[in-house]
Homo-oligomer: A and B are copies of this chain.
């Protein structure tokens, strides 16, 4: 496979790496080296950020490899280690931080062919890393179960690429019990296969694919309730927020999504606009059918139910959750590329006050929508507000003002894992673990910026 000559300019530049030798070593495993395709597949949704867009636009791997099983992954890992070729793992590429964008070129390891479900039992499933989240739910629902949480990209994202979004019932993916086990191939001359359970399995989480190649995951399941999608319209955003907070706190109400959205965001909601009255703020919820009565009792006369129907996520429908989390940003970006977003975690002990403060502080500039979640056992809100972008300086100022007010920011406008984390550093565990599984530092070098290989 090769690209047309007129498109070869960039790809024709000699790679820094021994790609030819690599290809010879992994013969029999499907590869793509057509420059256009490789460049396209080296991207994710980093373009939501004008800053990342400038920084990552020209990053590309040299070659895509698509192994079909773990044995082929082991061969690829060994070949990269021997030739010191960077390796970046890529699944559906639905991330927003350039997680899967190769910063130093090299091999893009496409895991989307590994989709098998190894087993399922009541409450748990073991799947290969490339299985799509929606397919997992389709496979588990006949026995009454589903994944505990999923990103708004559920219909395309894979379980291996799934970076936690948190949930209103089970807390974040990082919390104990939300990943049961992970199987990892190390990037060494003689790759090892590690089976990690419980605490140890958390080492692979949110490391942006820099700590070994995940080939399988064992995930806990939740009961699959018959979910009802509901939209409630409110005159005032804080009323929608308060009602959502009460629903989130009501442990007797089984729910999956509680998302207040301020006007004018719903005016960008395409097919959903007919259920979003002009000028109104809305509360988007997924509520178990059996809890719908008590849910409405909480809402009372404060808001008006404008939509109520069983959740659907089959082909040809846009599920309600594709208007929440960072899909909200996407809905707006479809018609207006001038905005970007932030990623916030509000303090649980002064949630309403801090939400109100941030709204008052940036009128017309930072537009609120929140996601109620449980975090460390407490009900609080995450948020990915729409931000009318002007300059990098102003963006950074807004971030700083949030942090001063006690609203934690996971900066989605930076390349490295450390700069993007709430704590501005890689976990000690993650750094130590990386020495074990990627001693040469070949997994997307630059992504875990504070890592440097031990001298050998």
Contacts and interface: CB of A to CB of B under 8 A. Distances in A.
A295 interface: yes
Interface stretch (A26-34, A333-341, A363-371, A375-383): A375-383
Contacts of A291: 177, 220
A252 B298 contact: no
A193 interface: no
A324 to B, nearest CB: 19
B198 A297 contact: yes
Nearest to A298: B176
A200 to B, nearest CB: 9
Contact of A171 (B123, B251, B349): B251
B144 A175 contact: no
Interface residues of A, number: 44
Number of copies: 2
A251 B144 contact: no
Contacts of A378: 249, 378-379
Given A123-B288, A199-B297, A220-B291, A176 B252 contact: yes
Given A250-B176, A251-B169, A252-B176, A290 B123 contact: yes
Interface of A: 122-124, 144, 148, 169-171, 175-178, 180, 197-199, 220-221, 223, 225-226, 248-254, 288-291, 293-298, 349, 374, 376-379
Given A176-B294, A349-B349, 14 more contacts: A123-B225, A123-B289, A124-B290, A171-B252, A175-B250, A175-B251, A176-B297, A176-B298, A177-B253, A180-B294, A223-B223, A248-B377, A251-B377, A378-B379
The 10 A-B pairs at the shortest CB distance, nearest first, are namely A249-B377, A177-B252, A171-B251, A177-B294, A123-B290, A178-B252, A223-B223, A177-B253, A176-B294, A198-B297
